[in-house]
Amino acid sequence: MIKGLFLASIAVVMMTACSVDEGYDTPVAPNEITFSVTPVNASRQISAAADNDVKNFIISARNNGTPFIDEELVAFSGGRWLNTGKPHLWPSEGDVDFFAYRYDKTANRECTPLLDVEMTRAKLCMFNVANEASRQTTLQYATSLHRTANDGSVPMQFRQALSEIVFTAQNSSRKLHVEISEIIVNHVYMQGDFIFPSGRQQAKWDVSSGAPQSSKASFPTKTVNSHMESLGDETVMHLIPQSQDNATAETGYSDGVSITFRCAVWKLSDGSDTPKDSDTMLIGERNADGSVTFGELRIPVSINWQPGCRYTYSLNFGAGGSSGIPVTGGIMLPIAFSAYSEAI
């Protein structure tokens, strides 16, 4: 019986982008700054907060390169999107650059980012992603540059700043029974600075000040079926976009990214759908009291995650042709691993 297994590294380099149209409103007072909001993945402006998941957001701004608004809350009130503090009037000279962000603070209470707006760039500093997938949240951002009172309400078109990681699995063999109870993405950066896009500079992340950690999704044991399907919403992760090489065996898989599936795999002897005590465990271990200790299947991967993209990693037990991994009794267990990306 085998508790820990490793597959060869698989490079995953995928980039996609998405765009939506912006919407505009007309301010009620010509000299008071108001906002119009376009939700993520939409092409229409929303006039009421109830029409979209954007209920409020944090905004900062600069006027002619100097600070103008410093991290104020904007919410929908009285038919308009306004900052909740003292109303701001358009400056008499120059244009204004606006930078906004939002995330679910109730889900990730440990995250206390700082929006730093400088003369030539703006960044959201020290954004932390929770290690447990159940506590992770999306992060959305918006920019609106070179605005004046003549432009009307400031259009804020929100986009996704993080990468979404999704897992699917399939059991293609009638001779196998597969169960999975946990997924861990190892050696990824969970803290970083988000740099807002400006001019030709696209949105990007700086993770140089942090250290690699892990992201874990634990869930009730799932039986892998004969068709490819999602392992569930509780396995979805929202992680910081980054580029890293795959982990290698020479360093004990500590020098790069890998994905660990905590699973149990049985070789069925009589073609039944459920394992018996007499069936051989290929991954995992049967204990003396009849319980089962799940083993680990570790897959090294290289990543090039981009903001606003979904990356789906798929595991197919019993597939893979002549390739496979050695398990109990010298059996070569075929496992196919694949990945693809798409714009969120």
* Domain boundary pick from 127, 160, 193: 160
Maximum distance among all alpha carbons in the chain? 83
Q: Domain check: are 217 and 309 in the same one? A: yes
Q: Domain check: are 137 and 179 in the same one? A: no
- 269 within 8 A of 278, measured Cβ to Cβ: yes
Q: Among residues 20, 104, 89, 19, which one has the least CA distance to residue 58?
A: 104
* Domain boundary pick from 160, 193, 223: 160
Q: Domain check: are 227 and 142 in the same one? A: no
CATH for 81: 2.60.40
Q: Domain check: are 168 and 124 in the same one? A: no
Tally the domains of the chain: 2
Exposure string for 62-99, b = 16+ CB within 10 A, e = fewer: bbeeeebbeebebebeeebbbbeeeebebbeeebbbbb
* Res 55: pLDDT: 83
- 246 within 8 A of 279, measured Cβ to Cβ: no
Q: Domain check: are 43 and 82 in the same one? A: yes
Instruction: Answer whether residue 113 is part of any domain.
Output: yes
Instruction: Answer whether residue 26 is part of any domain.
Output: no
Q: Domain check: are 339 and 199 in the same one? A: yes
Supply the pTM of this predicted model. 0.86
* Res 330: pLDDT: 60
Q: Domain check: are 174 and 302 in the same one? A: yes
Instruction: Answer whether residue 108 is part of any domain.
Output: yes
Instruction: Answer whether residue 156 is part of any domain.
Output: yes
Instruction: Answer whether residue 20 is part of any domain.
Output: no
Close Cβ partners of 150 (under 8 Å, ≥ 6 residues apart): none
Q: Domain check: are 215 and 329 in the same one? A: yes
* Domain boundary pick from 98, 125, 160: 160
Q: Domain check: are 273 and 205 in the same one? A: yes
User: β-pairing, 154-157 with 35-38?
Assistant: parallel
Name residue 242's amino acid. Q
SS3 234: helix
pLDDT along the chain (344 residues), means of 10: 52 40 46 86 41 77 93 87 86 94 80 89 94 94 95 93 97 94 97 93 93 96 95 96 94 93 92 86 90 92 96 92 61 87 93
- Token reading at 204: 């990007």
Q: Among residues 144, 122, 139, which one has the least CA distance to residue 24?
A: 144
Instruction: Answer whether residue 183 is part of any domain.
Output: yes
Exposure string for 239-268, b = 16+ CB within 10 A, e = fewer: bbbbebebbeeeeebebbbbbbbbbbbbbb
Instruction: Answer whether residue 29 is part of any domain.
Output: no
Q: Domain check: are 150 and 182 in the same one? A: no
Q: Domain check: are 168 and 152 in the same one? A: no
* Res 35: pLDDT: 92
What is the span of the domain harbouring residue 140? 35-160
* Res 264: pLDDT: 95
Q: Domain check: are 274 and 152 in the same one? A: no
* Res 269: pLDDT: 87
* Res 101: pLDDT: 95
